[in-house]
């Protein structure tokens, strides 16, 4: 498998990793089997999060006896010092590890959240302490906002960034280039555009053509996915003209109805977190995480059904999405 260095860390990782969100719906035996097969196929980077329910614990069981093979990444939504400190300890326990290779600030949405994380009593302080104590080896940050990560890579605080990237969502290419120049690792999530791209082989090959990408982490929950994903990295073949045109056609077709979670539609007068509505819908309809997505959706303080159809969001959307109709569909799917 092709190996790339993960930014300023000491880790050399296979370019195709193991995205750990979908295994939360598997039983222990099946999850362990997937993880073991991934190891045998040469996959050595695995990504999870505190918010992925049983994912951390299943991975902890799955890597027993093979810990040194893996570069383990997890993440937390904690924004303050005490919450992050607590989450680090929970992750260590769940993953059955003495240390975690990469701990990330998860889904930083706004400048206020970023400022809180970096404040005197913010989450970063807990991460920095844990790194000095040897409990974590590197610190990263994930976001759906290019501006947040653009600011982050101008500092020396983070070893990695994680952002969606695929044939449909290409807005981060300049960000990735700048990150590579600053020796910051680039982790690609949502390689299949939330399931909108059905040809996984083409999707992964498209991403790996970008030399600024360190690793791509497709979600894995089936045996056949492991070998298929690993095969792309073992014998990489650039896209041919027809394959590239097929992806370009798909991107064009999705352009009028696909939320890229840039956040320009916000703030909503009704305080609806519009991108999150579409994110939960994607998990519900395309990732087969119906119960998980429905539970997350039900906990949102404002839902798609609260839309009063004022249309202000649509005037801000750089992709001219029919957001009001899309929110109506979210209500239809998730209630």
The string of pLDDT tens digits covering residues 103-152 is 999 999 889 999 999 999 999 999 999 999 999 999 999 998 899 999 99
Contacts of 82 (CB under 8 A, 6+ apart): 121, 126
Please tell me whether residues 278 and 231 are part of one structural domain. no
Please tell me whether residues 216 and 279 are part of one structural domain. no
Please tell me whether residues 177 and 295 are part of one structural domain. no
Backbone φ, ψ for residue 137 (5° rounding): -105, -25
Structural domain including 12 reads 3-244
Q: Residue 233 has what pLDDT?
A: 93
Q: Residue 256 has what pLDDT?
A: 59
Q: Is the pLDDT of residue 49 over 90?
A: yes
Name which of 166, 139, 161, 159 is nearest 148 in CA terms: 161
Please tell me whether residues 227 and 295 are part of one structural domain. no
Q: Is the pLDDT of residue 266 over 70?
A: yes
Q: Residue 320 has what pLDDT?
A: 79
Distance set, CA 241 to CA 57, 196, 298 (Å): 43, 21, 44
Q: What CATH number has the domain bearing residue 173?
A: 3.20.20.100
Please tell me whether residues 31 and 106 are part of one structural domain. yes
Please tell me whether residues 222 and 288 are part of one structural domain. no
| Other CB atoms within 10 Å distance of the CB of residue 252 | 10
Task: Give the pLDDT confidence of 176-212 residue by residue, as tens digits.
Answer: 999 999 999 999 998 988 777 888 999 999 999 999 9
Total domains, the chain: 2
Q: Is the pLDDT of residue 255 over 70?
A: no
Q: Is the pLDDT of residue 264 over 80?
A: no
Instruction: Give a yes or no: residue 253 inside a domain.
Output: no
Tokens of 84: 């992050």
Instruction: Give a yes or no: residue 26 inside a domain.
Output: yes
Please tell me whether residues 201 and 303 are part of one structural domain. no
Please tell me whether residues 187 and 325 are part of one structural domain. no
Please tell me whether residues 85 and 221 are part of one structural domain. yes
């Amino acid at each position: 498998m092709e190996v790339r260095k993960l930014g300023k860390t000491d880790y050399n990782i296979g370019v195709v990793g193991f995205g750990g969100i979908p295994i939360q719906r598997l039983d222990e035996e099946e999850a362990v089997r997937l993880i073991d097969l991934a190891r045998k196929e040469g996959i050595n980077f695995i990504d999870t999060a505190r918010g992925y329910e049983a994912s951390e614990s299943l991975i902890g069981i799955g890597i027993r006896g093979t810990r040194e093979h893996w570069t383990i990444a997890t993440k937390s939504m904690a924004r303050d010092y005490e919450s992050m400190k607590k989450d680090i300890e929970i992750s260590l326990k769940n993953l059955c590890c003495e240390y975690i290779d990469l701990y990330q600030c998860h889904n930083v949405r706004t400048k206020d959240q970023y400022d809180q994380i970096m404040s005197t009593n913010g989450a970063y302080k807990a991460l920095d302490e844990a790194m000095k104590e040897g409990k974590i080896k590197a610190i990263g940050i994930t976001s759906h906002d290019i501006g947040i990560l653009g600011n982050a890579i101008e500092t020396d605080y983070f070893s990695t960034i994680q952002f969606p990237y695929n044939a449909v969502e290409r807005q981060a290419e300049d960000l990735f280039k700048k990150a590579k120049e600053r020796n910051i690792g680039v982790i690609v999530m949502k390689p299949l555009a939330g399931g909108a791209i059905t040809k996984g082989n083409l999707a992964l090959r498209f991403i790996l053509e970008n030399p600024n990408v360190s690793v791509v982490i497709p979600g894995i929950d089936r045996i056949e996915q492991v070998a298929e994903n690993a095969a792309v990295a073992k014998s990489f073949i650039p896209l041919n003209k027809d394959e590239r045109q097929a992806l370009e056609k798909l991107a064009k077709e999705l352009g009028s109805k696909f939320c890229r979670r840039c956040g320009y539609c916000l703030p909503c007068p009704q305080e609806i977190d519009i991108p999150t509505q579409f994110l939960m819908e994607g998990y519900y309809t395309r990732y087969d995480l119906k119960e998980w997505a429905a539970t997350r959706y039900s906990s949102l303080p404002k839902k798609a059904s609260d839309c009063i159809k004022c249309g202000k969001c649509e005037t801000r959307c750089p992709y001219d999405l029919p957001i009001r109709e899309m929110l109506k569909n979210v209500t239809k799917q998730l209630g």
